[in-house]
A and B are shown apart, each in its own frame.
Chain A
Amino acid sequence: MSIIEVEKLTKYYGKSRGIVDVSFNVEEGEIFGFIGPNGAGKSTTIRLFLSLIYPSSGKARIFGKDCIEFGPEIRQEIGYLPSEVFYYEGMKVIDLLKYSGSFYKKDTTRRMHELAEIMELDLKRRIDDLSYGNKKKVGIVQGLLHQPKLIILDEPTSGLDPLMQQKFFNLIREENKRGATVFFSSHILGEVQKMCSRVAVIKEGSIIKIEEIKTLRNEHYKKVMVTAENSDQLQFDLEGVTNVERDNGTVRFFFKGDINQVTRIISAHDVADLTIEEPTLEEIFMHYYE
């Protein structure tokens, strides 16, 4: 069953573009990555899911229900962690979390204490006095305390130290094992690579690719690096060669296709060094970003 169904979702802010004709599905139990550079429309898409803003056309359904018509009902089962968290001034952490919990039909007290313990969050402090990273922890506890069926994360790790990031990712994985679906928006590809099974790439408001992470990495590109004395003579005029760079006797390029074609050319020359490796997601996506 699809947890999120997006159909030709379009949002214009006046004349300026938000997103255009975005369509994709997120299946139950998956961790779905949503990546793209700043301003590509990631947050706009999420805000449409949460009916903070209304679409210009198209629609989004969550748990099979329309996001606008059934907004409050579906939000019972959504946990949302925004990229920057802002809370009411003059409240203690515990009061804010209790206030947040009071909107859900379940009892959230126990889970709230568990999460606070995992994230090492002091419940008695005033929110105004917390550092950016600690506010983020409040956001994490607040977003997860009702054990949501869908977790929506918008650039979740900014402000968290590496240890906390690790704890946070473990927490998300546990929630995922418990059955929660995760929608993970980020521009940090390493994170997405670690966490997600499938990923959609958004650029300038449109989805340009939806793919399994495995497919993206294994089946498509190889990164080839050859060093030779007469490297100028190494000519890779093949279909599937991109991003060729030459400097100091080294040739670097991406290759997509039958690798034997490349090794045949190389074997005809005397080379000093040769590396063929899988590019990182970063390198693959730079390709899309540019």
Chain B
Amino acid sequence: MNIYFRELKANLKSLLIWSGIVVLFVLVGFSKFSAYEGNPELLAIMDSMPKALVEAMSLKAFNLTTVTGFLGLMFTYFGLILSVAAGMWGTDIITKEERDRTVEFSLTLPVTRGKVITGKLLAAVTHCILLLLVTWGSILLGAANYQTTQEFFDFLSLIIPALGMMQLIFLAIGILLGCAMKHYKRASSITMFILLGMYMASIFSGLNEKLEFLKYVSPFKYFNPAVMLNESRLEWPYLLITAGIIGVCLLGAYFTYQRRDLYI
């Protein structure tokens, strides 16, 4: 528990910075929406756009003149921001001990490496949840100026857990790389490389039928806002994949960290 509380405190500044980014992004986004709301010209523009582009940006499913449709468009970007934060926290919380050369202190204390990971993991999960709550709050705040329907709130109640699962996926990947890689500098850049690679994969999977299989690779495709909006559900095959990824990454993290030489 002492590790958990220390990490909570140590990472507080980063949480505040990311919260600021999220609040700013949501509020600026919703203030832009005032130009779209109830504007029929926008629909005409959308119709004239290339079909592939519309598909790639998942604009097809939404009526961007309603706040609900706009939220559907924004979902991908929220996902991206929260995933980047989670992935960075994941690698950083493990690798910073080696980067700041504190391993000779923290890992010579009478504590198992497994407990160290558990304490840090729980602290990072806590911060992910807090950032998610900030996101939720700022969406409610941003949407408050517009006409919201029951549909909007139903949609939002699916979006929030979906974002939470995306956070956990990238947190787990980040922790795995932080634990497994001996070179701490590479761990965080590889985490970001994977994240952006998966985002690109999510775009390509919509562009070409041959690349459609990429939707199973990219977590950005696991939570399809169109399905969440129109069918009010999360798709269970993807939930299983999500659980699988998180489970495998965390097992791998505990396994590798307990067996490797620390970099001093």
Query: In this assembly, does B107 line the interface, its C-beta being within 8 Å of a C-beta of chain A?
Result: yes
Query: Are B109 and A100 closer than 8 Å at their CB atoms?
Result: yes
If A99-B2, A102-B2 touch, whether A88 touches B10 (CB-CB below 8 Å) is yes
Query: Are B261 and A71 closer than 8 Å at their CB atoms?
Result: no
Q: How far is the CB of A89 from chain B (nearest CB, A)?
A: 7
Q: How far is the CB of B127 from chain A (nearest CB, A)?
A: 16
In the complex, A75→B104 CA distance in Å?
13
Query: In this assembly, does B148 line the interface, its C-beta being within 8 Å of a C-beta of chain A?
Result: no
Query: Are A47 and B110 closer than 8 Å at their CB atoms?
Result: no
- Per a CB cutoff under 8 Å, which of A52, A72, A86 touches B112? A72
B103-139: CB near A (< 8 Å → 1, else 0) gives: 1110111111000000000000000000000000000
Query: In this assembly, does B102 line the interface, its C-beta being within 8 Å of a C-beta of chain A?
Result: yes
Query: In this assembly, does A80 line the interface, its C-beta being within 8 Å of a C-beta of chain B?
Result: yes
What are some 6 contacts across the A-B interface (CB < 8 A)? A54-B260, A75-B109, A76-B110, A80-B104, A86-B102, A88-B100
Query: Are A103 and B261 closer than 8 Å at their CB atoms?
Result: no
- Per a CB cutoff under 8 Å, which of B6, B105, B262 touches A86? B105
If A47-B264, A52-B261, A53-B262 touch, whether A86 touches B101 (CB-CB below 8 Å) is yes
Considering the complex, which residues of chain A in the window 80-98 have a beta carbon less than 8 Å from any beta carbon of chain B? 80, 82, 84-90
Query: In this assembly, does A157 line the interface, its C-beta being within 8 Å of a C-beta of chain B?
Result: no
In the complex, A75→B10 CA distance in Å?
25
Q: How far is the CB of B7 from chain A (nearest CB, A)?
A: 10
- What chain A residues lie within 8 Å of B6 (beta carbons)? 88, 99
- What chain B residues lie within 8 Å of A88 (beta carbons)? 6, 10, 100, 102
Considering the complex, which residues of chain B in the window 210-264 have a beta carbon less than 8 Å from any beta carbon of chain A? 259-262, 264
- What chain A residues lie within 8 Å of B261 (beta carbons)? 13, 52-54
Query: In this assembly, does A132 line the interface, its C-beta being within 8 Å of a C-beta of chain B?
Result: no
Query: Are A86 and B100 closer than 8 Å at their CB atoms?
Result: yes
Query: In this assembly, does A73 line the interface, its C-beta being within 8 Å of a C-beta of chain B?
Result: yes
If A75-B109, A86-B105, A104-B110 touch, whether A52 touches B262 (CB-CB below 8 Å) is yes
Query: Are B264 and A52 closer than 8 Å at their CB atoms?
Result: yes
Query: In this assembly, does A45 line the interface, its C-beta being within 8 Å of a C-beta of chain B?
Result: no
- What chain B residues lie within 8 Å of A142 (beta carbons)? 105
- Across the interface, name the chain A residue whose C-beta is closest to B107: A52
- What chain B residues lie within 8 Å of A72 (beta carbons)? 110-112
Q: Top 5 A-B pairs ranked by shortest CB distance?
A: A53-B261, A75-B110, A86-B101, A76-B110, A103-B109
Query: In this assembly, does A213 line the interface, its C-beta being within 8 Å of a C-beta of chain B?
Result: no
Query: In this assembly, does A153 line the interface, its C-beta being within 8 Å of a C-beta of chain B?
Result: no
In the complex, A240→B264 CA distance in Å?
44
- Per a CB cutoff under 8 Å, which of B10, B104, B110 touches A103? B110
In the complex, A86→B10 CA distance in Å?
16
How many interface residues does chain B have, given as a range?
Answer: 20 to 34
Q: B interface, by DSSP: helix, strand, loop or mixed?
A: loop
In the complex, A175→B245 CA distance in Å?
51
Query: In this assembly, does A251 line the interface, its C-beta being within 8 Å of a C-beta of chain B?
Result: no
Query: In this assembly, does A40 line the interface, its C-beta being within 8 Å of a C-beta of chain B?
Result: no
- What chain A residues lie within 8 Å of B112 (beta carbons)? 71-72
- Across the interface, name the chain B residue whose C-beta is closest to A52: B262
Q: How far is the CB of B185 from chain A (nearest CB, A)?
A: 17
Query: In this assembly, does A60 line the interface, its C-beta being within 8 Å of a C-beta of chain B?
Result: no
Query: In this assembly, does A50 line the interface, its C-beta being within 8 Å of a C-beta of chain B?
Result: yes
- Per a CB cutoff under 8 Å, which of B2, B10, B102, B104 touches A90? B10
Considering the complex, which residues of chain B in the window 184-207 have a beta carbon less than 8 Å from any beta carbon of chain A? none
- What chain B residues lie within 8 Å of A102 (beta carbons)? 2
- What chain B residues lie within 8 Å of A47 (beta carbons)? 264
B1-22: CB near A (< 8 Å → 1, else 0) gives: 0100010001000000000000
Query: Are A103 and B100 closer than 8 Å at their CB atoms?
Result: no
- What chain B residues lie within 8 Å of A100 (beta carbons)? 105, 109
Query: Are A73 and B101 closer than 8 Å at their CB atoms?
Result: no
Query: Are B110 and A73 closer than 8 Å at their CB atoms?
Result: yes
- What chain B residues lie within 8 Å of A52 (beta carbons)? 103-104, 107-108, 261-262, 264
- What chain B residues lie within 8 Å of A76 (beta carbons)? 110
- What chain A residues lie within 8 Å of B100 (beta carbons)? 86, 88-89
In the complex, A88→B3 CA distance in Å?
12
- What chain A residues lie within 8 Å of B262 (beta carbons)? 52-53
Given contacts A82-B104, A86-B105, A100-B109, list 15 more A-B pairs with CB under 8 A.
Answer: A50-B107, A50-B108, A53-B261, A54-B259, A72-B110, A72-B111, A78-B108, A80-B104, A86-B100, A88-B100, A89-B100, A99-B6, A102-B2, A103-B111, A142-B105
